[in-house]
Amino acid sequence: MSGVGWMPADFDAPPGVCAGVTTRHGGVSLGSLGALNLASHVGDQADHVTENRARLRASLDLPAEPIWLQQVHGTAVYRDIGEGGAAVPCDAAVTDRPGRVLAVLTADCLPVVLASRDGQRLGVAHAGWRGLVSGVLEATVAAMGDLGSDLVAWLGPAIGSAAFEVGPEVRDAFMAVHDGDAIGFLPNARGRWQADLQLLAQRRLQRAGVSAISAIQACTYTDSDRFYSHRRDPGSGRMATLVWRAPRPATLCV
């Protein structure tokens, strides 16, 4: 079976912690969903999504099926204390169990991976602007035990500021929470704003006590070869950002 497109997260991950994001290569989906669409809610054939997820698990030698969330641009956090695996309406997930695979799906929104420095607690969050301003990252940090400086974070690919034009209501929503977040918005010639999701997320994490933050420099909107983008192609497929802790010391991260 051919390998799927995969970009390992480049951050100060604790030993045994694996993380990264898929690209759109290596699957069987067709058309604008080609090829490795991992979402079941974007109009893809169900058997294509099933095959793509099976390829993902086999290619990365995942210890379990990822916990696929039903994302709603909110702040609810799924706490992995049961069998997991079922879709639930949450935009983040945390676990302290080895062998669990956490996942969020994105196609312009920002995926954020969190890990405690000892590798015992993991988290992942789906952070579009609505989730960010509502506090999804703070909720994820809190669900991990408010470890703050004992956490390391990785910010995955999202729409870049040059491509992400928003109206004044978006900027106003952030400033209503913290006026210093104005730094995440640059005015454009159309009287609107270019928003920097990664910068806004970094500021949120820092205020929650997280200082060890790494980020990939990649724009989902402009890099059509590697990434899906809902703003560029409405109804596009979705990439998956995953994090898990190897259940055995001998297991190597990809």
Percent of the chain with pLDDT over 90: 91
pLDDT in tens, 82-141: 555 556 799 999 999 999 999 999 999 999 999 999 999 999 999 999 999 999 999 999
Terminal CA-CA length for the chain:
16
Q: 3 versus 51: which is more confidently predicted? A: 51
d(CA 103, CA 62) in angstroms, rounded, equals 12
Q: Which structural domains are found in the chain, ordered by start? A: 6-160+216-245 (3.60.140.10)
Helix ranges, 102-187 (H):
129-134, 136-143, 168-177
Q: What per-residue confidence (pLDDT) applies to 88?
A: 72
Return the bridge partners of 77, or none.
Answer: 92
Contact 237, 224 (CB under 8 A): no
For the chain, the average pLDDT equals 94
pLDDT in tens, 156-191: 999 999 999 999 999 999 999 999 999 999 999 999
Q: What per-residue confidence (pLDDT) applies to 148?
A: 87
For residue 79, pLDDT over 70 is answered with yes
d(CA 152, CA 172) in angstroms, rounded, equals 29
d(CA 150, CA 77) in angstroms, rounded, equals 19
Q: What per-residue confidence (pLDDT) applies to 248?
A: 65
Cis peptide before 35 (omega within 30 of 0): yes
d(CA 24, CA 108) in angstroms, rounded, equals 13
Pairing of strands 92-95, 122-127: antiparallel
For residue 202, pLDDT over 50 is answered with yes
Closest to 19 measured CA to CA, from 243, 248, 251, 247: 243
Q: What per-residue confidence (pLDDT) applies to 246?
A: 85
Contact 122, 102 (CB under 8 A): yes
Whole-prediction pTM: 0.95
Percent of the chain with pLDDT over 70: 94
Contact 158, 220 (CB under 8 A): yes
For residue 236, count other CB atoms closer than 10 A to its CB.
Answer: 22
Average pLDDT in the 70-89 region? 80
Average pLDDT in the 23-52 region? 97
d(CA 28, CA 24) in angstroms, rounded, equals 10
Pairing of strands 212-215, 185-187: unpaired
